[in-house]
Chains A and B, each alone.
Chain A
């Protein structure tokens, strides 16, 4: 294998590139980035980029500038992949140029789902650096903001705009925001925390109309309530960027279908990151793990699979989110029907460690300000540990300092 093309100058794409070099790959590596910026990191866009003291040209590089030359990475920026020909092993770019490859890494990520006004104009979203710079400027020109969608990133933006002094209303169609991720108890805690910080969350609402007049928005809800705001942002989920793979022969359904090592149905073509759907082939299911560390790990795994034919397991998913002064960090995934057990701290204090599971199944753990307790539970999740083992771990760590934390 002499030429590897990586489509997506992202966490997954650059992690793949680094892993190729670490594994001793000496051929050419071309990294295609649709945006003209050198590769940047997205987590700060909803937080640091919107901070009161943030520079208007704040930038969050994924790698230092010299990294690309020192690792022999050929960045092709401001151009996107338009088509893939797996028979000829060519990536066709939007300007017509074709790049030949021996190995291909698909790391094209996701784009924000569009919500339109009643006149058909798309509402602003937050996905790119350009979006963040626009939002930071707009936040300084308006006093009222309405955010559509109470996901983690939507609520991070709510917190950031509130800190900039705006009146912030968040609209959510689900009766309890983030119930699937957090369960009702912790979801209620997070909503109450936001309310205590001055964010108004309207859950279980239907948006009937979004009109624009005189540079402002008027939003009409299903119960007739009207909201006016100069700033409106949609945060209603994402769609995988797989359009360019249509008719290529690479199986796509809710993302690029692949395994934990990124292996697709086409030899020599691997996928990683937000665009990757880890659901079983033919199941029709969607299992995209849209988290930073997963993109990093699967990018590395996909690269090693490509040149070394190594296989990896799906790691326990990890995510973090900053909500005002609280930092939430979680491993695993809460599943529908799980109960929650607070094993350290309390919801009232806002500082706690929560376990999710049902029966003997231990599914996940969430920390608010208790990150130092996460490690042993992560290892237990990795080992497929049980609910009893998780509870035993909790009681041993609360009753004995320095006691062995090995699962019972």
Chain B
């Protein structure tokens, strides 16, 4: 599923291996504080001008821990 404005990001903490690729691509949404073993979701919602970066972040996760979903689902 591709990101669209109004959708939400979901992080599967069981899959995340703290690669941190998402942090470089979408720093308003993701953070990986020093020593953290799982990425921190800073912002769940996706704005219209953020869909490209979020899609890139989802595809760039080797652990496939990120997904986007319609809000509230």
- From known contacts A41-B62, A43-B62, infer whether A293 and B23 are also in contact, taking CB-CB under 8 Å: no
B21 interfacial by beta-carbon distance below 8 Å = yes
- From known contacts A44-B17, A327-B20, infer whether A371 and B27 are also in contact, taking CB-CB under 8 Å: yes
Interface range on chain A (Cβ under 8 Å from partner): 20 to 34
- In the complex the two chains form, is A329's CB within 8 Å of B20's CB? yes
* Nearest CB of chain A from residue B70's CB, rounded to whole Å: 18
Give the residues from 9 to 56 in chain B that come closer than 8 angstroms, CB to CB, to chain A. Answer: 17, 19-21, 23-27, 31-32, 34-35, 53
- Complex: A16 Cα to B27 Cα, angstroms: 27
A151 interfacial by beta-carbon distance below 8 Å = no
- Complex: A292 Cα to B26 Cα, angstroms: 18
Residues of A within 8 A of B60 (CB): 293, 296, 318
Residues of A within 8 A of B19 (CB): 43, 320
- In the complex the two chains form, is A371's CB within 8 Å of B24's CB? yes
- In the complex the two chains form, is B24's CB within 8 Å of A374's CB? yes
- In the complex the two chains form, is B64's CB within 8 Å of A375's CB? no
Residues of B within 8 A of A367 (CB): 24
Give the residues from 31 to 53 in chain A that come closer than 8 angstroms, CB to CB, to chain B. Answer: 41, 43-44, 48
B59 interfacial by beta-carbon distance below 8 Å = yes
| Residue among A63, A327, A373 making CB contact with B64, cutoff 8 Å | A63
Give the residues from 283 to 327 in chain A that come closer than 8 angstroms, CB to CB, to chain B. Answer: 292-293, 296-297, 300, 318, 320, 325, 327
- In the complex the two chains form, is B21's CB within 8 Å of A320's CB? yes
Residues of B within 8 A of A293 (CB): 21, 60
User: A-B pairs with CB below 8 Å: how many?
Assistant: 53
* Nearest CB of chain B from residue A211's CB, rounded to whole Å: 39
- In the complex the two chains form, is A372's CB within 8 Å of B21's CB? no
The residue on A at minimum CB distance from B25 is: A375
A144 interfacial by beta-carbon distance below 8 Å = no
- Complex: A318 Cα to B53 Cα, angstroms: 14
The residue on B at minimum CB distance from A47 is: B17
- In the complex the two chains form, is A369's CB within 8 Å of B34's CB? yes
- In the complex the two chains form, is A378's CB within 8 Å of B24's CB? yes
* Nearest CB of chain A from residue B63's CB, rounded to whole Å: 8
Max chain A CB contacts within 10 Å: which of B17, B20, B25, B64?
A: B20
The residue on A at minimum CB distance from B2 is: A22
| Residue among B17, B24, B27 making CB contact with A48, cutoff 8 Å | B17
| Residue among B31, B53, B59 making CB contact with A372, cutoff 8 Å | B31
Residues of B within 8 A of A64 (CB): 64
- In the complex the two chains form, is A296's CB within 8 Å of B24's CB? no
- In the complex the two chains form, is B32's CB within 8 Å of A375's CB? no
- In the complex the two chains form, is B17's CB within 8 Å of A371's CB? no
- In the complex the two chains form, is A372's CB within 8 Å of B64's CB? no
The residue on B at minimum CB distance from A19 is: B59
The residue on A at minimum CB distance from B22 is: A371
- In the complex the two chains form, is B59's CB within 8 Å of A296's CB? yes
* Nearest CB of chain B from residue A44's CB, rounded to whole Å: 7
- Complex: A41 Cα to B31 Cα, angstroms: 23
The residue on B at minimum CB distance from A327 is: B20
Residues of A within 8 A of B62 (CB): 11, 41, 43-44, 292
Residues of B within 8 A of A327 (CB): 20, 32
Residues of A within 8 A of B34 (CB): 325, 369
Max chain B CB contacts within 10 Å: which of A293, A300, A367?
A: A293
- Complex: A296 Cα to B26 Cα, angstroms: 18
- In the complex the two chains form, is B27's CB within 8 Å of A375's CB? yes
- Complex: A293 Cα to B24 Cα, angstroms: 13
- In the complex the two chains form, is A329's CB within 8 Å of B64's CB? no
Give the residues from 324 to 341 in chain A that come closer than 8 angstroms, CB to CB, to chain B. Answer: 325, 327, 329, 331
- Complex: A329 Cα to B35 Cα, angstroms: 16
3 nearest A-B residue pairs (beta carbon): A372-B27, A374-B24, A371-B23
What are 25 residue pairs bridging A and B, where the CB atoms are less than 8 Å apart in the complex?
A11-B62, A15-B59, A43-B19, A44-B62, A63-B64, A64-B64, A292-B62, A293-B21, A293-B60, A296-B59, A318-B21, A318-B24, A318-B60, A320-B20, A325-B34, A327-B20, A327-B32, A329-B20, A329-B24, A369-B34, A371-B24, A371-B27, A372-B23, A374-B24, A375-B25
Given A318-B21, A327-B32, A367-B24; 18 other pairs, CB 8 A cutoff = A43-B19, A43-B62, A63-B64, A293-B60, A296-B60, A300-B59, A318-B60, A329-B20, A329-B24, A331-B24, A371-B20, A371-B24, A372-B23, A372-B27, A374-B23, A374-B24, A375-B24, A375-B26
